[in-house]
Amino acid sequence: MSEYIIKIENVKFKYDKDSDYAVNGVSLNIKEGEFTAIIGHNGSGKSTLAKLINSLLLPTEGKVYVKGMDTSDDSKLWDIRQTAGMVFQNPDNQLVATIVEEDIAFGPENQGIEPSEIRRRVDTALNAVGMYEYRKRPPHLLSGGQKQRIAIAGILALNSDCIILDEPTAMLDPSGRKEVMETLKKLNSQGKTILLITHYMDEAVLADRVVVMDKGTIKLDGTPKEVFKNIDKIKGFGLDVPQVTELTQELIKEGLDLPSDIIDVKELVDILCQ
Residues that bind ligand ATP (CB under 6 A): 15, 22, 40, 42-48
Tell me the site size for Mg ion, rule CB under 5 A.
1
Q: Measured from the CB of residue 32, what is the shortest distance to ligand ATP in angstroms?
A: 25
Stretch that binds Mg ion, among 17-25, 32-40, 47-55, 256-264 (CB under 5 A): 47-55
The smaller minimum CB distance to Mg ion, of residues 22 and 153, is found at 22
For Mg ion, the closer CB: 169 or 248: 169
Contact 137, 100 (CB under 8 A): yes
Return d(Cα 240, Cα 231) in angstroms, integer.
8
Q: Which does 85 bind (CB under 5 to 8 A by kind): Mg ion, ligand ATP, none?
A: none
Residue 200, phi then psi, degrees to nearest 5: -100, 120
Please tell me the distance from the alpha carbon of residue 3 to that of residue 31, in angstroms, as a whole number.
6
Task: Give the one entry of Mg ion, ligand ATP, none that residue 42 binds, where binding means its C-beta sits below a cut-off of 5 to 8 angstroms depending on kind.
Answer: ligand ATP
Nearer to ligand ATP, 171 or 251 (CB): 171
- Residue number, 221 or 267, with CB nearest to ligand ATP: 221
* Binding flag, residue 44, Mg ion (CB under 5 A): no
| Identified binder of Mg ion from the candidate list 36, 47, 193, 230, rule CB under 5 A | 47
Q: Could you tell me the smallest distance in angstroms from the CB atom of residue 30 to ligand ATP? A: 18
d(CA 112, CA 63): 30
Distance separating alpha carbons of residues 238 and 172, to the nearest angstrom: 23
Q: How far apart are CA 224 and CA 231, in angstroms?
A: 12
Element (H, E) at 194: strand 193-197
Considering the complex, state which of residue 47 and residue 183 has its C-beta at the smaller distance from Mg ion.
Answer: 47
Q: How far is the CB of 96 from Mg ion (least distance, A)?
A: 22
What DSSP state is assigned to residue 21? P
Residue 167 or 179 with smaller CB distance to Mg ion: 167
With CB cut-offs between 5 and 8 Å by kind, which of ligand ATP, Mg ion, none does residue 40 bind?
Answer: ligand ATP
Residue 197 contacts residue 166 (beta carbons within 8 Å): yes
Please tell me whether residue 248 binds Mg ion under the rule CB under 5 A: no
CB of 41 to ligand ATP, least distance (A): 7
Residue 14 C-beta: closest distance to Mg ion, Å: 16
Q: DSSP string covering 126-190, please?
A: HHHTT-GGGTTS-GGGS-HHHHHHHHHHHHHTTT-SEEEEESTTTTS-HHHHHHHHHHHHHHHHT
| Rounded Cα distance, 43 and 37, in Å | 16
Binding site for Mg ion (CB under 5 A): 47
